[in-house]
Each structure stands twice: as C-alpha cells, then as structure tokens.
Structure 1
Amino acid sequence: MFTALRRVYIGSISGEAFEVSRQTIESVQILRFIAALIVVLDHCTFVGKMIAARSNTPFHFPMFPGRLGVDIFFIISGFIMVYISSDGGRWTITPAAFFQNRWIRIAPIYLVATILYVALYFLAGNFERWSLLQYLTSALFIPYFDEVTKLPFPILGQGWTLCFEMFFYSIFAIALNLPRRASLVFLCVVFFSLVLVGLIWNFVSGSVFVLTPMPTRADFIVPRFWLHSIILEFLAGILLAMLREHIMARHQLWSFAFPISVCLAIIVAYILQANLTDDYLKPFPSLIRFSCALSVVAICVLTTSKNRSAWLQNMLVFLGGCSYSLYLFHPHVIFLMDSLWKRLGALADIKAFVVVGTLLSILVSVAVYLSLETRMIRLFNTMRPKIAKASQAYAAEASKTLSSHQLASPPEG
C-alpha cells in the first residue's frame, strides 16, 4: 500500500518534466516528516499550555523546540535545490523554469491553507483580525509585523519560513544564470554579505533583531528580516550537496543500516537537553541546535540506507511526502481543537490535547496531500505549456503591433 503511495509522491513531485529526475533519498524524506512533526508538537504543546492556563490546570508535557524542525527544513532545502537542479557538475534547468517549479510547489497550496485559516476566523465571527495590507503581504511572501502576536509573520504564522524559502529561491534562480562553480561562489558571497549587513545593522541600531522571542515594533523593518543569520542554513545545505557529489565522484557513499535511528537518537538527545534549559534560543544554545540539525541532515545525505523494503520505512517515506501539508494545515486542526476544548472545559484532558492534535494533524495532512496538494501540482504543471504558448503569442503580437506603429510614424525633424 505505502509503496504505491510513494509512487504517487515520486511521480508528482520528484519526477517533474521541468527538473532533472533524481532518485528520492528516502532518509531525507523521513527526516522531513520528523522535522514537521517537531513543529506540530511544539505548536500543540504551546496551545495546550494556554488552555491549561485558562483553566488553572497543571500542565506537564515535554517541550519540543520547533526551531530545530525549521533548521532541518532549511538545510534540506539548500541541499535539494542543488540536487534537483544539477547533474554532472552543470545546471540542468533555466532560472525561469526553476522559479516556476518552486512557485508551483510552494504557493498554491499555501494560499489555499491561508484562505481556509482566514475562513475559520470568519466563521468564529472575527472579521477584523487582519488588515488588507496583511492579506497582500501574506500572498506575496513578504513579512509583516502583526500587532496582535508582535511577530513579523504572515497570516498563517508558520509562513514566516516560506518568506525565507521564497527569498532563497529568488537568489538561487539568479545564480543559475552563472556557470555552476561561479554560481556557488556567488551564493556564498551573497549570503555571507547579507548576514554581515545584518550584524552591522544590529551594531549601529544598538538592538539585535531576533525572530523569536518577540521583536519590538521599532526593531522590525522588512529588509532586516532577510538579513538574519538563519539564511546561512540554506548555504549549509548547498555545501552538503557539493560534498555528496565530491564523495560520489571518488568513492561510494557509506552504506548505513539505520541512519534514521541515529538521527532520532541525536534529535531526542537535543530535545532532552533543551528541556533542561530555558535559553535554547540564545546564541550558544542556538549553535548547538544548528549543529544537531546539520548533523542529522549530513547523516541522511552522505550515507545510503541498506533497508529499502520495510513497510515502516515505506510508510515514513510517504509521510515525508505529506510533510508540507502537515506543516501548513496543522494550525487549522489546532484552532478547531482549541474551540472544542473550550466547550468541554474540565471534561477535556489537557495532555490528550497534544496527542490527539498531533495524530489528527497527521491524518488531515495525508488527506490534503492525496486529495489536493498533488492534484494542484499536476494541474499547474499541465497549464505551464499553455501559459508559455499564450505568453509567446502575446509577445509576438505586441512586437508586431509595435513594429507597425514605428513604420506608420513620420520621421522626426
């Protein structure tokens, strides 16, 4: 069953006609699911604490650092962009086709998730939660300082990571205009320069811009968002892709029986450590978190797994395919469950909120992935040749009209 479902994923995403077809790295797919799961657990736990505080009920549940999941996602993203866009030391895709692919993969389902999230607020009678400018900036992946949450996030909160993703895709698309070696140097120079400007900005302004905990309103200016050092995680993924190519060109990847088991052990060790301290977002603990994320991604991309037929692995690879839907749609589940727990009051078990919310989020993500996400990607990929043909026809007609006007115009003087 899960083998067939995996074919759905591989055929609809990895094997797009507009990108080089590459073998799916199963351990990376599983790691994507784990990263999304950490984020879901973090958000469920956060809302669970709020529910407990409202009812003056004790709430004892492990803390899951969602930023670890984001770090893993960003490093994987940097790796995947090189992995699917190059072969044999050269780029295999044009900048325009690359950006179109990324937009199709990211934007349509994100916009649907945002619309449905707004609809939940409307159904609850809250029609003035966001301004018109917030709707526009959310659709364009531009951060906006929300006066309610005091965070520079779009309407769908976790969309802040997509603001970084689309920024990265834009820079990467520019780099594709250069030969591959030159483009990689270009990416390194650009990202380190952006971070350096951010550090100088922090020094001159006398305040350090942070994503979390909450920045003050005076600290937030849109360009400053993209100068955060978190963008170096994309670069780390790019360097891992280069290292993998170097190893494969000279040797074979190390065949490893249980890469995911080792990754889980590292992640669990970090989560246990993070639960012992409250400063895991400060500089040194953040470096530990980044090291954890880099380590687990490196294990997955620099080794090859021996176990390829186990049903559990097939299921986890499939859930890795659903990870984007899980990431986008779990707030909708949490919103509805929060409303339900308010009605149930003392009858509802607070700890069950986290468990039930996580399981329901996974089930919803599977349904969304199969019924909506993959179909939307296929639809937009089918439309691409027609749009390109119409654009060419429009350009030819415009050129023809311009030429006729120039011929009809009397010479000056």
Structure 2
Amino acid sequence: MAARIARIVPMYWVLTSLMLVIVWIAPSLKTTEFTVMQAVTSYFFVPYEVKQSGSYYPVLYVGWTLTYEMFFYAVFAVSLCFAEQRSGVVLTAFFVVLSVLSLTRPSAYIFRFLTDPLLLEFVLGCVFGWAYRSGFRVSRWTAAVIIVAGGLGFCVGTPTSDMAHRVVFAGIPAALLVVGGIVMEAAGGWTGSDLLQQVGDASYSLYLLQAFTIPAFARVLTRADRLRLLPGDLICLSLVVASVLVSVLVYRAVERPIDIKLRALRRAHRQAQGARNAELEKHATTLTQRDRGM
C-alpha cells in the first residue's frame, strides 16, 4: 500500500492543485463549479457526486479511474490476508458480487460507484496476472490472433456516454489487447525500443496531463486553423503527439525525480526499521540468555 500510494499520489496531488489554481486564476476555463467538498474528496480518492451529471468526477476529472484503482488496491491488500490460492477466488467473487448488485439499480451514488460493472475489468487483469504467473504462454501466431481480436472488439460496438455495457464493448477488447501484447513479447514477437520505453515510462504523466494538454492544444489549433482547413484526423494525431511529448518532458522533470526521492526514503526507512528490529532481537536474546543463566 505504501508503494502504491507513493507511486500514485504525488503527481495526482500536484496536478489536482494545478487544476484548482488554473480555474481560480481563469474562471472562464471552468466547465463546472468546484465545491470545497469536491476538492477535499478529490485529494483523498473519495467518490463525490457531481449533481449536474450524476457522475463522480474529481477536480482533475481523469482521476475518476484512480478512485476505482485505490478501492481495488485496498481490496487486494485485504485479500493478501488469505492463502494465495484462496485470495484469487475471494477477490474475484467479491468484485463479481458487487457487479451483480448493480442490477438492483441502487440510487445512492456511493453504492452506484461500488457496484459499477467496471470493477470486472480489474478481475480480467487479475485472472490474466495469475495465469501468466502460472506459466501461461502462447505462440506468436496465437498472440497475433488475440491482438487482432481485441482490435476488432472495439469495432463491434461503442460504449454509451453513461458507460452502459462498457465491460463488453471496451473492457474485454482492451483486456485482449493487453494480453496479446504481453504474450507476444514473451514469445519473442518483439523486443520493444527505447522510444516506446520512454513513452511507457511517462504513461502515468500522460494519463493525468491529458486533462491539460488536449484542451490547450485544441485551443491553439482552433485559433491557428480559423478556416477549418486541417482534416480532423490530422488534428487528433497532432493532439496525441503533442500530449506525448509534453508528458515525457514532465515525467523527466517532475514525476521521475519525485519517484526516485520517495523510493530512496522508503528504502532508508526499511533499512532503519530493519536495524531497529535487529537491535531489539539482539537485546531480547541477551535477556533470554541472562534469564537462563548462560
């Protein structure tokens, strides 16, 4: 839990704070009114219902998935209290039961949040994770088929704005793409590249910064292309490339230094704790030997 918090929280808090500063300085950029309670719950990954939309978006709106992730991390941490073979069953059963409860169409937003079928997407990841650890591997051709199936899955249907049937139309295809990519790499289908590695390292910054980069670059392109001469596909590609470049720079300048510093602090804490435990154990051994008259 400490590792997850150290990895997720710092950049999210930094950019949540930046979002609050921006809308305070330039109120015209706001698309909704932020309340004090919404700001507080945003920092602590607590779902907060936005009355206008009936959804639970934090100040940094892309962080709604992090709220689910933190919930998943907490449940997963509890599952570690069970034997390894049982933890998988317990974890899967827990999320399946919650998802089934969504059929009752709960009205309270906290229960809508906790019973969203989106939780099944975590189960898909867990199932593949356990299978991969158990030695699940396939040939390159089979991996290619899985990837193609995932790509085609996105063409079958489109999730609605309220994310109804999201697991079917987005979750399963996404899971197939991830599974296919990982087993393809395991089969030696590709070795990756330094460029892709850098983009992958910056993926968390990219995920958070899209709330800033896409609107900002869209405004720039809109003003530059007043006659609407640029094709939409080129604009989308430009937004993606610009967002990736900014994210890589922010990762190197902000996220990575923070991560390195926190890792060093955690490592030093573990070493100090280990030294204290060793000293206590030595002291206890000395007392025991003295009591025994040794």
Q: TM-score, normalised by structure 1?
A: 0.57
Counterpart for residue 325 of structure 1: 205
| Aligned residues of 2:218 and 2:239 also touching (Cα < 8 A) | no
Counterpart for residue 112 of structure 1: 14
1:361 positional shift: 0.4
| Aligned residues of 2:117 and 2:167 also touching (Cα < 8 A) | no
Counterpart for residue 168 of structure 2: 287
| Aligned residues of 1:274 and 1:280 also touching (Cα < 8 A) | no
Counterpart for residue 57 of structure 2: 153
Superposition RMSD in Å:
3.3
Tell me whether 1:372 sits opposite 2:254 in the alignment.
yes
Alignment of 1:213-362 (within 5 A): 219-247=107-135, 253-256=137-140, 259=143, 265-274=148-157, 281-283=163-165, 286-303=167-184, 304-309=186-191, 313-340=193-220, 343=223, 346-347=226-227, 349=230, 351=232, 352-362=234-244
Higher relative contact order, chain-length normalized (CA < 8 Å, sep 6+): 1
Q: How many residues align?
A: 269
Q: Secondary structure at the match of 2:45?
A: coil
Deviation string 1:257-297 (CA, Å, 9 cap, x unpaired) is 795x656644543444447x9799543x7524333223223
Q: Where does structure 1 lack aligned partners over 5 or more consecutive residues? A: 1-98, 206-218, 394-413
| Aligned residues of 1:255 and 1:306 also touching (Cα < 8 A) | no
Alignment of 1:180-195 (within 5 A): 180-195=84-99
1:223 positional shift: 3.3
Deviation string 1:294-338 (CA, Å, 9 cap, x unpaired) is 32233234452425556xx44223322221111110111123234
| Aligned residues of 1:257 and 1:306 also touching (Cα < 8 A) | no
CA distance in 1, matches of 2:118, 2:72: 11
Counterpart for residue 33 of structure 2: 129
Change (3 A) 1:221 1:241: same
Q: Where does structure 2 lack aligned partners over 5 or more consecutive residues? A: 277-294
| Aligned residues of 2:150 and 2:175 also touching (Cα < 8 A) | no
CA distance in 2, matches of 1:235, 1:359: 32
Alignment of 1:157-168 (within 5 A): 157-168=61-72
Q: Secondary structure at the match of 2:55?
A: coil
Task: After superposing the two structures, state which structure 1 stretch, 360-369 or 338-347, moved more.
Answer: 338-347
One-letter amino acid of the counterpart of residue 225, structure 1: F
Change (3 A) 1:272 1:331: same
| Aligned residues of 2:47 and 2:67 also touching (Cα < 8 A) | yes
Counterpart for residue 59 of structure 1: none
Change (3 A) 1:247 1:385: closer
Deviation string 1:11-55 (CA, Å, 9 cap, x unpaired) is xxxxxxxxxxxxxxxxxxxxxxxxxxxxxxxxxxxxxxxxxxxxx
One-letter amino acid of the counterpart of residue 336, structure 1: A
CA distance in 2, matches of 1:357, 1:338: 7
Identity of aligned residues (%): 24
